[in-house]
Amino acid sequence: MKIACLSLVPLFPEYVLGGSQNILNKIVLGLRSNDIKVRLFSPISEMKKSYIGDVEIENILNLKGSFPSPFEIPLYEIQDLSETIQKISLWADRLYLHGDGWIMRDEFEDKKIISGIHDLVYQEAITSVFSLDSNKIIVPSLYLLETIKASISKKRFQNKNIVVIKNSISNINNLISNNKTNKKNLTLLFPHRPDPRKGFIQAVKIATVFSNLKRWDKVILKVPKFQNSLNKDQKNLDYLDYEVYKIFNESGGELFLHDWIPSNEMNDYYQTGDLTLCPGNFIESFGLVPLESLANGTPSVCSSVGAFRDLSNFPGIRLAPYNDIEKFVQKGLELIVQNKEIIKGKNKVLSDYNLDSMITEYVDHILNPDKKLSYKNNNKIYSNVDDIIYYLAPWCSIENSKIYHDYKGWMDEFEDNFILEENTKIIMSNNFYKKAIKEKILISSLCINQ
């Protein structure tokens, strides 16, 4: 069996730029460990020859090499790309499209296509799910599956073959070394790329509140500097916000900007922290950072956004409403003293997000792309409107008396205008029911595949 893996963005074997590339590396290595022939293709670049394991990264795809709009190239280069894809397809038995976005379906020569979708944020992924054909779509979480199911028509969904394969963490030593060198200080980690939606400004504000508590000699916020040469996402921005820095520094805090951490050093890095922060409003489709951190003995506090909500009852992880700085600090203070809970959470991560299990599933579904699985609806919160059952959309959550919408933020007009009865039934006036349906807060059960 010969598998061609295609990436729309450049790959850097020593550096992992987000969870998606992390998973691609593991997929490639996992396929090879099963004696499957693999070739890996990415956009043309001037990088020296490099490998993931024994698989060369073949930088031959004539693409822009960054997001968004990787196909924003001259038409004659599209023709060149078409010929390259045809040659790759003639070699391969299967095509694995990591992140998909491949509009050039005709060039795949009727080969079986496995589409790996890792978010519903970028246009490329949305187009792939909505209108591009594939034999199988692999998503990393029930959150993403339920979002797709609630977003498109029942007929369109039924024509999709979607399977959930949870992302995994790397196999690590079960014994955690103690790299927390100064217990008189509090070290906070912000191990994210510089997309403003990841919540850097919120992280600095959280660190400032911790610092103002004066419980530690110093509060240190560790943040990676992003190398321009690795920046292939035009939505990434500089961190600069001097006013926020100034307030944090005046509180006695220290902002430690360090080099981007190579992937083989991330476990050691996580172990240097007391608490990992994931305070953004980026719609995470899985949430690898808090799990990796916890596996290394460092608990996490995350925004109650996207797939982070799937971790609401996970020991060693706490959720807080997006942009509620005080709540983030409160949850963090609770966590950092819960040693037994952190150990329980660590063991649960190692058990539930096992690398070998993920690879076994990927190999099975790539080799058998027509295999289908079914999933039960996970809708729990509902309303009854004119004798029709409506469910709370998977991209929405109820936070006390407020409603948060992953795509629209806080829905302020609904604050204190509904009741959540027995944590399952939403009750509001007819006028607000209509608004909730219009804003896609409530989704009709008639539109959701059963």
Domain boundaries, given as residue ranges, for the chain: 2-164, 185-353, 382-447
Of the candidates 353, 252, 192, 329, the residue with the CA atom closest to the CA atom of residue 361: 353
User: Could you tell me the sign of the dihedral formed by the alpha carbons of 92, 93, 96, 97, in that order?
Assistant: positive
CA angle, 313 then 317 then 322, to 5°: 95
CATH 3.40.50.2000: does it fit domain 2-164? yes
What is the 3-class SS of the chain, one letter each residue? CEEEEEECCCCCCCCCCCHHHHHHHHHHHHHHHCCCEEEEEEECCCCCCCEECCEEEEEEECCCCCECCCCCCCHHHHHHHHHHHHHHHHHCCEEEEECCCCCCHHHHCCCEEEEECCCCCCHHHHHHHHHCCCCEEEECCHHHHHHHHHHCCHHHHHCCCEEECCCCCCCCCCCCCCCCCCCCEEEEECCCCCCHHHCHHHHHHHHHHHHHCCCCCEEEEEEECCCHHHCCECCCCCCCCHHHHHHHHHCCCEEEEECCCCHHHHHHHHCCCCEEEECCCCCCCCCHHHHHHHHCCCCEEEECCHHHHHHCCCCCEEEECCCCHHHHHHHHHHHCCCHHHHHHHHHHHHHHCCHHHHHHHHHHHHHCCCCCCCCCCCCCCEEEECCEEEEECCCEEEECCEEEECCCEECHHHCCCCEEECCCEEECCHHHHHHHHHCCCEEEHHHCCC
- pLDDT for the residue numbered 216: 95
Q: Average pLDDT per run of 10 along the chain, which is 450 residues long?
A: 93 67 90 96 88 94 83 93 96 96 90 94 91 95 94 92 93 59 86 86 94 95 73 48 73 86 88 97 93 96 97 97 97 96 96 93 96 83 90 95 97 95 92 95 76
Residues 6+ apart with CB under 8 A from 397: 304, 309, 403, 404
Q: What is the pTM of this model?
A: 0.91
Q: Identify the pLDDT of residue 248.
A: 82
Tokens for 185, please give them. 């200080």
Q: Are 301 and 328 in contact (CB under 8 A)?
A: yes
What span, in angstroms and rounded, lies between the C-alpha atoms of 201 and 279?
9
Strands 136-139 and 112-116: parallel
Could you tell me the maximum CA-CA distance found in the chain, to the nearest angstrom? 65
Common-topology check for domains 2-164 and 185-353? yes
Position of tokens 């911790």?
Answer: 210
Residues 168 and 358: their CA atoms lie apart, in Å, by 6
| Superfamily per CATH, domain 185-353 | Glycogen Phosphorylase B; (3.40.50.2000)
Q: Which residue has the tokens 């719609």?
A: 283
Distance CA 125, CA 140 (A): 13
Q: How far apart are CA 138 and CA 278, in angstroms?
A: 25
